Amino acid sequence: MTLHTYRTDGAGLPLVLLHGFPLDHRMWDAVAALVPGERPVLAVDLPGTPADAETLPEPSIEASADRVAAELRSAGLDRAVVAGLSMGGYVVLALLERHPELVAGAGLLDTKSTADTDDARANRLRIADEAEQSGTVAPVRPMSTGLLGETSRTSRPELVDELAGWIEHQRPEGIAWSQRAMAARPDRTDVLRRFTGPVLVLVGDEDTVTPVAAAEHMAAAVPQAALVVVPHAGHMSALEQPAAVADALGELAQRTDTEASTTA
């Protein structure tokens, strides 16, 4: 796993970004350049991504969270605003459960706190097997369109191409690992309910993978959550509408700074 640093300067709490599947930190490039305020901004490449040279453990979102925690600690970060999109959001919830002291504020973007249905789990395991057996990313190639909202799919072919390029660059064994890890994750709505720090729940209004109802379910679990529905964005809100996502993350980080300074 590796920590990718976008910005190092600023007195605010660091903002740490966790990517979705089947992607890596590059999906945050546009957002990271636009986050308002003065603070370090970093992204983690999760297990199985091209930049990750470590041996893969047994697949689990808990293992991803433990590695993120170890990576942050070894970089000297013991408290941060942590935001994840989709699979990255599953890792944020596992961090809240296993390493709560690291998370001062949480961003849950185009994700859900519930476990998979039996059908979704079976589909993930099938894709994992296919990626492994074929030694290719073929089973996830259709995601270059499937992750985008209708507006982007029909009017922004450059986003489809960008996603396709990133997907093509992934490791088949990493795809298999992540699918098995996501398939095994439990419902963490209660973990979220127990978190008392600032929370942002954000979703694209055209997200069909983790729709607005999934975001409303999470926001209902935490009264302090800000719920932001981004217009003209699908599951890849950070790619489709980076300015809106950067503003929402900036507000979350600012709210977390304020809370940290009043409780210090």
Q: Give contact residues for ligand MLT (rule: CB under 6 A).
A: 20-21, 86-87, 182, 209, 235
Centroid of chain to Cα 253: 16
| DSSP, res 184 | T
Residue 61 beta carbon to ligand MLT: minimum distance, rounded to whole angstroms: 10
Residue 223 beta carbon to ligand MLT: minimum distance, rounded to whole angstroms: 26
Given the complex with ligand MLT, which of 114 and 136 has the nearer CB atom? 114
The whole-angstrom separation of Cα 161 and Cα 135 is 22
Given the complex with ligand MLT, which of 170 and 254 has the nearer CB atom? 170
Q: How many CB atoms lie within 10 A of CB 193?
A: 14
Centroid of chain to Cα 149: 17
Residue 155 beta carbon to ligand MLT: minimum distance, rounded to whole angstroms: 21
Given the complex with ligand MLT, which of 39 and 180 has the nearer CB atom? 180
Centroid of chain to Cα 148: 15
| DSSP, res 116 | P
Given the complex with ligand MLT, which of 188 and 235 has the nearer CB atom? 235
The token pair at 90 is 């599953």
Residue 142 beta carbon to ligand MLT: minimum distance, rounded to whole angstroms: 12
